[in-house]
């Protein structure tokens, strides 16, 4: 038997903050009626390969087989059942850390990174790979991999598979082929593959299953006939056993396919059950994961826990998710049928049940599930209410991907004019994610109003802040909007620090350094008191820029160091505005005469994806200027050109940014002068150097972006920059020239 697993290393409080469900890292519960597939278990037990792939359609017993393997193997095991909400690299990485924490040490640095607002996937992947590489012999199971679609998730899983140490195994189970790209390990003999032909029940195992499922004393001839008829499909054999248990004289005739099973379930099982059980099954099929209290609330009934126990004890298609049998789920074949029955019999119940389920989940602190049920029931008003209540806290709690999905759904189903609070928050989300066009669409959906009540005043203030941050109408309007927001906000609002910060930016763009400094100091004080970490870090970064302008190098160094400390302690390294923190650190280091540290900070700043854009034009231009001047100081003409080109793009969209525009022109003059003095091919930036070898592959820009955890647009931009530096116009020519001059090996 497998060694008993200790308490997860990932703290429970962290798992709750990340919205992780403990049931996802628990293997399926074994039952006395389970049939041990001894031949397959022996194959798995005697294999010494690091990777196992088990692929077959639903109902072939993949999860049961792998659970038995993990349970009987002497090594410790970790388990992750993938659901749709894990189709995001950050959420998947968090679940993997949660699962792996039960069998190996998870580094504090990795947990800190994953707890950040925007975890950097390169860092998170490296941390998880280190955890895998440090495993004592164990088995890691990732079940239902077919639920993933995001290529970045498969990039993460491939990276982990490469690090499995000798003596350990990682098992991937799925209903269909996935983009795990296991050809390399297959060719190296490091992969064991089990498919549908391996998982089909033979006559002997089928006989055991039929008897265990209640078919009685069935003859060898009948076993062979049923095995052939169902094509060895486990679910088909189980349902045949149920049919025989109900009427031993009648041999079932359905075949080995899901349609036949659906017909059988409808015509026999539902017809044979007591009406209360049928109603319970049909109505509760709306729920993803079932528990007694949730079913009581959602179905407006009582004793649901006892009902679930009764149904589970006689139906293998009701799956317990824990050993205490507090939580269950329906096998997808049964749930699909029940949902069809519900749509046929009582479609009006779906919104009623989902509304109750949403309310119950919210009361239990299960915010993600509350929103999911509201979305499942198309409750637009309810989704808007939950987003307004929890969206900001969830986003800044490090679950940006979750909130993005909420707003994406709302953007397709909600009317922005009816829900101004959600529209404004959506505008801020898209601006923070560096999607300026979407940010403008959301905020333009809500006209400015003279609100009189407190919620309306705060909403209008936040809208003014968003408009100020985007600076579409120039720095004078930016200052007016920031000051208007400040006048509308209550004294205790955490948004006050943002208002002061944006006012300071407007003053700086107008050349009013003294006023800017006062505003930044107030912003730093307010943000520090209220724990608004992003505004706190930015305020100190801005004070460092002011100090540089005034020639106070020591003051600039102190402020830049404070800004960086806030970013790193708050795990904000992946948030776009933190680019400015590293950029000012680079400039300060260069002024202090430390080119090595300056280049290191500049490389950190330039690695952000997404980087700052004209969604936040002042921050973006400041970062571009700082980095361009740093690159010029280092004599790196090509790198300087990259930053100045980006600055030109920002100015093209936001031309009225005061002194920043003239500073870019001065930097461009410095660039031109330095360029004229440099002979030879310009060097590649670190990002371009990482990209160049991948240009030799068959991968598309989108696929390369998945490998590097950057967007396809970023890859395209870097590739064009490489083409320009090498004096070519195509990918093939770039590879050829790079090989000729020694940038690539032949």
The verdict on 590 and 519 lying in the same domain is yes
Sign of the CA dihedral running 595, 598, 602, 603: positive
pLDDT category at 268 given cuts 50, 70, 90 is: low
Work out the average pLDDT over 385-391. Answer: 93
The verdict on 575 and 630 lying in the same domain is yes
The verdict on 59 and 133 lying in the same domain is yes
695 and 731 Cβ atoms separated by less than 8 Å: yes
Rank 388-402, 426-440, 537-551 by mean pLDDT and report only the highest.
Answer: 537-551
Sign of the CA dihedral running 676, 680, 683, 689: positive
**pLDDT, tens only, 690-708:** 888 889 888 888 888 877 7
Residue 100 lies in a domain: yes
The verdict on 178 and 207 lying in the same domain is no
Q: Which residue has the tokens 């798992």?
A: 15
Say yes or no to pLDDT of 385 above 80: yes
The verdict on 178 and 212 lying in the same domain is no
How many Å apart are CA 674 and CA 263, to the nearest integer? 77
Say yes or no to pLDDT of 4 above 60: no
Say yes or no to pLDDT of 325 above 50: yes
pLDDT category at 646 given cuts 50, 70, 90 is: very high
The verdict on 499 and 633 lying in the same domain is yes
How many Å apart are CA 522 and CA 34, to the nearest integer? 66
* 406-415, 497-506, 511-520, 651-660: the lowest-pLDDT one: 406-415
The pLDDT value given to residue 6: 42
Residue 349 lies in a domain: no
- Provide the token pair at 195: 């498919």
Residue 715 lies in a domain: yes
Say yes or no to pLDDT of 372 above 80: yes
Work out the average pLDDT over 84-98. Answer: 91
The torsion of the CA quartet 315, 316, 319, 325, rounded to 10 degrees, works out to 60
Say yes or no to pLDDT of 298 above 90: yes
Ramachandran region, residue 310 (left: φ > 0; alpha: ψ -120 to 50; beta: rest) = alpha
Residue 745 lies in a domain: no
pLDDT category at 662 given cuts 50, 70, 90 is: very high
Who has greater pLDDT, 93 or 323? 93
The verdict on 99 and 39 lying in the same domain is yes
pLDDT category at 727 given cuts 50, 70, 90 is: confident
Domain containing residue 215: 203-272
How many Å apart are CA 475 and CA 617, to the nearest integer? 11
* 52-66, 264-278, 523-537: the lowest-pLDDT one: 264-278
Work out the average pLDDT over 610-630. Answer: 94
Residue 89 lies in a domain: yes
The verdict on 48 and 166 lying in the same domain is yes
Who has greater pLDDT, 451 or 162? 162
How many Å apart are CA 523 and CA 35, to the nearest integer? 66
- Provide the token pair at 441: 């669409």
Residue 83 lies in a domain: yes
Who has greater pLDDT, 642 or 363? 363
Report the CATH number at residue 728: 1.10.10.10
The pLDDT value given to residue 250: 75
The pLDDT value given to residue 5: 40
Work out the average pLDDT over 461-480. Answer: 94
**pLDDT, tens only, 418-449:** 898 899 889 988 998 899 999 999 988 877 77
pLDDT category at 326 given cuts 50, 70, 90 is: confident
Of the three residues 216, 243, 272, the one that is the final residue of a domain is: 272
Cα angle 667-669-671, degrees, rounded to a multiple of 5? 70
pTM of the predicted structure, to 2 decimals: 0.77
**pLDDT, tens only, 581-613:** 999 999 999 999 999 999 999 999 988 878 899
Of the three residues 605, 638, 671, the one that is the final residue of a domain is: 638
Average pLDDT, the chain: 88
The pLDDT value given to residue 258: 58
pLDDT category at 202 given cuts 50, 70, 90 is: very high
42 and 72 Cβ atoms separated by less than 8 Å: no
Who has greater pLDDT, 6 or 91? 91
Work out the average pLDDT over 270-295. Answer: 90
Residue 70 lies in a domain: yes
**pLDDT, tens only, 481-535:** 999 999 999 988 989 999 999 999 999 999 999 999 999 999 999 999 998 999 9
Work out the average pLDDT over 53-67. Answer: 90
Who has greater pLDDT, 677 or 81? 81
Of the three residues 272, 303, 333, the one that is the final residue of a domain is: 272
Cα angle 467-470-472, degrees, rounded to a multiple of 5? 85
Report the CATH number at residue 521: 1.25.40.10
**How do 318-320 and 327-330 pair as beta strands?**
antiparallel
Residue 299 lies in a domain: no
* 69-73, 240-244, 465-469: the lowest-pLDDT one: 240-244
Say yes or no to pLDDT of 344 above 80: yes
The pLDDT value given to residue 1: 41
The verdict on 370 and 474 lying in the same domain is no
What 8-state DSSP symbol labels residue 194? Answer: E
Percent of the chain with pLDDT over 90: 50
How many Å apart are CA 69 and CA 37, to the nearest integer? 9
Q: Which of 279, 256, 244 is nearest to 333 (CA)?
A: 256
Say yes or no to pLDDT of 256 above 80: no
Q: Which residue has the tokens 């389970």?
A: 34
The verdict on 512 and 620 lying in the same domain is yes
Q: How far is CA 59 from the centre of its chain?
A: 29
658 and 509 Cβ atoms separated by less than 8 Å: yes
572 and 116 Cβ atoms separated by less than 8 Å: yes
Q: Tell me how many domains the chain contains.
A: 5
515 and 507 Cβ atoms separated by less than 8 Å: yes
Classify residue 593 as exposed, middle or buried by CB count within 10 Å of its CB (0-12, 13-18, 19+).
exposed
Percent of the chain with pLDDT over 70: 95
Interacting residues of 186 by C-beta distance below 8 A, sequence separation 6+: 193
The verdict on 44 and 60 lying in the same domain is yes
The pLDDT value given to residue 470: 95
Report the CATH number at residue 106: 3.40.50.300
How many Å apart are CA 289 and CA 308, to the nearest integer? 12
What 8-state DSSP symbol labels residue 266? Answer: I
The verdict on 571 and 715 lying in the same domain is no
The pLDDT value given to residue 140: 95
Who has greater pLDDT, 220 or 252? 220
pLDDT category at 680 given cuts 50, 70, 90 is: low
pLDDT category at 3 given cuts 50, 70, 90 is: very low
**pLDDT, tens only, 130-161:** 999 888 899 999 999 999 998 889 999 999 99
């Amino acid at each position: 038997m497998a060694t008993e697993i200790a308490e997860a290393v990932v703290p429970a409080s962290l798992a709750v903050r990340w919205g992780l469900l403990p049931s996802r890292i628990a293997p399926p519960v074994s039952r006395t009626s389970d049939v041990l597939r001894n031949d397959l278990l022996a194959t798995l037990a005697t294999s010494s390969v690091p990777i196992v792939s088990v692929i077959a359609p639903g109902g072939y017993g993949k999860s049961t087989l792998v659970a038995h393997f993990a349970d009987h193997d002497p090594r410790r095991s970790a388990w992750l059942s993938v659901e749709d909400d894990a189709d995001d690299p950050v959420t998947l990485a968090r679940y993997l850390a949660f699962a792996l924490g039960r069998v190996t040490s998870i580094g504090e640095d990795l947990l800190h990174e994953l707890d950040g607002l925007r975890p950097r996937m390169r860092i998170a992947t490296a941390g998880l790979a280190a955890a895998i590489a440090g495993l004592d012999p164990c088995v890691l199971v990732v079940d239902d991999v077919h639920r993933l679609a995001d290529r970045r998730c498969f990039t993460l899983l491939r990276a982990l598979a490469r690090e499995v140490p000798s003596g350990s195994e990682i098992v991937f189970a799925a209903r269909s082929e996935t983009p795990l790209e296991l050809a390399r390990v297959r060719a190296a003999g490091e992969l064991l593959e089990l498919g549908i032909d391996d998982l089909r029940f033979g006559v002997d195992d089928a006989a055991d299953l039929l008897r265990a499922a209640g078919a009685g004393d069935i003859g060898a001839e009948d076993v062979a006939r049923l095995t052939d008829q169902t094509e060895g499909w486990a679910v088909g054999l189980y349902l045949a056993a149920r049919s025989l248990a109900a009427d031993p004289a009648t041999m079932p005739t359905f075949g080995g396919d899901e349609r036949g099973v659906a017909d059988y379930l409808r015509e026999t099982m539902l017809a044979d059950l007591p009406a209360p059980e049928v109603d319970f099954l049909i109505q509760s099929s709306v729920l993803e994961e079932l528990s007694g209290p949730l079913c009581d609330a959602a179905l407006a009934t009582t004793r649901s826990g006892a009902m679930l126990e009764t149904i589970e004890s006689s139906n293998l298609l009701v799956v317990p998710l824990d050993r205490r049998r507090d939580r269950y789920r329906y096998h997808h074949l049964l749930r699909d049928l029940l949902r069809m029955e519900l749509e046929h019999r009582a479609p009006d119940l779906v919104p009623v049940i989902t509304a109750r389920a949403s309310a119950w989940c919210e009361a239990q602190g299960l915010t993600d599930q509350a929103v999911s049920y509201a979305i499942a029931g198309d409750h637009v008003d309810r989704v808007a209410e939950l987003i307004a209540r929890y969206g900001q806290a969830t986003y800044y709690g490090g679950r940006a991907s979750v909130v993005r999905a909420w707003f994406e759904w709302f953007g397709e189903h909600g009317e922005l004019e009816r829900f101004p609070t959600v529209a404004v928050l959506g505008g801020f989300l898209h601006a923070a994610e560096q999607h300026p066009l979407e940010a403008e669409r959301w905020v333009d959906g809500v006209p400015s109003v003279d609100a009189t009540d407190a919620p309306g005043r705060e909403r209008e203030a936040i809208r003014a802040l968003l408009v100020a941050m985007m600076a579409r109408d120039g720095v004078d309007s930016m200052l007016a909007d920031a000051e208007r927001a400040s006048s509308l906000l209550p004294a205790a609002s955490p948004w006050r620090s943002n208002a002061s910060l944006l006012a300071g930016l407007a003053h700086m763009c107008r050349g009013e350094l003294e006023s800017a400094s006062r505003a930044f100091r107030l912003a730093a004080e307010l943000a520090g008191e209220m724990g608004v970490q992003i505004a706190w870090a930015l305020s100190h970064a801005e004070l460092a820029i002011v100090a540089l302008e005034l020639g106070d190098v020591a003051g600039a160094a102190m402020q830049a160091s404070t800004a960086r400390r806030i970013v790193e302690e708050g795990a904000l390294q992946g948030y776009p505005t933190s680019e400015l923190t590293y950029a000012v650190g680079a400039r300060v280091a260069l002024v202090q005469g430390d080119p090595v540290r300056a280049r290191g900070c500049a490389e950190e700043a330039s690695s952000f994806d997404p980087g700052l854009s004209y969604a936040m034009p002042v921050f973006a231009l400041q970062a571009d200027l700082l980095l361009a001047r740093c690159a010029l100081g280092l004599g790196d003409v090509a790198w300087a050109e990259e930053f100045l080109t980006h600055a030109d793009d920002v100015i093209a969209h936001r031309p009225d940014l005061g002194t920043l525009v003239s500073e870019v022109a001065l930097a461009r003059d410095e660039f031109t002068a330095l360029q004229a003095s440099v002979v030879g091919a310009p060097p590649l930036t670190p990002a371009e150097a990482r990209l160049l070898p991948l240009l030799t592959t068959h991968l598309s820009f989108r696929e390369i972006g998945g490998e590097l955890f950057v967007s396809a647009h970023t890859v395209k931009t870097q590739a064009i920059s490489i083409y320009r530096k090498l004096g070519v116009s195509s990918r093939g020519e770039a590879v050829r020239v790079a090989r000729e001059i020694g940038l690539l090996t032949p």
